[in-house]
Amino acid sequence: MVWKRLDGAAPRQAIRELNDRFRREGLGNGSVMVTSGVQAIGAEFVLKAVQTVRTFDQFSEDNDPWGEHDFGAVEVDGERVFWKVDCYDPTLTQGSENPANEAVTHRVLTIMLAGEY
């Protein structure tokens, strides 16, 4: 599998908006995966982690160099939690050829403990 970045600000803006909409509201074509490490802490922790990921807005050049809002790191009850949005083709067998196009993209939001990354 070869990952490639789309050139230009317009595709990046569309990717950012689609990633944010999926992460914040659960809208769009995608799945949310919560790792076993996060689940092992308990249901209340899972709910807090999901809510914290949904409201994350501290993007910077350091944590979002491509401007796609596809990764973040947060603290939840003293645990370092990472989240990552990956864009696949509709069959989930390879990367999306155009993550700016929802019709050909299935987003996967993974919420994990930092140690699971």
What gap in Å lies between CA 112 and CA 52, rounded to an integer?
12
pLDDT for the residue numbered 110: 99
Residue 93, sorted as left (phi over 0), alpha (psi -120 to 50) or beta, turns out to be: alpha
Q: Would you give per-residue pLDDT tens digits along the chain (117 residues)?
A: 455 555 666 799 999 999 999 999 999 999 999 999 999 999 999 999 999 999 999 999 999 999 999 999 999 999 999 999 999 999 999 999 999 999 999 999 999 999 999
> What pTM did the predictor assign?
0.91
Q: Is 73 helix (H, G, I), strand (E, B) or coil?
A: strand
- C-beta of residue 84 within 8 angstroms of C-beta of residue 109: yes
Q: What CA–CA distance (Å, rounded) separates 69 from 59?
A: 7
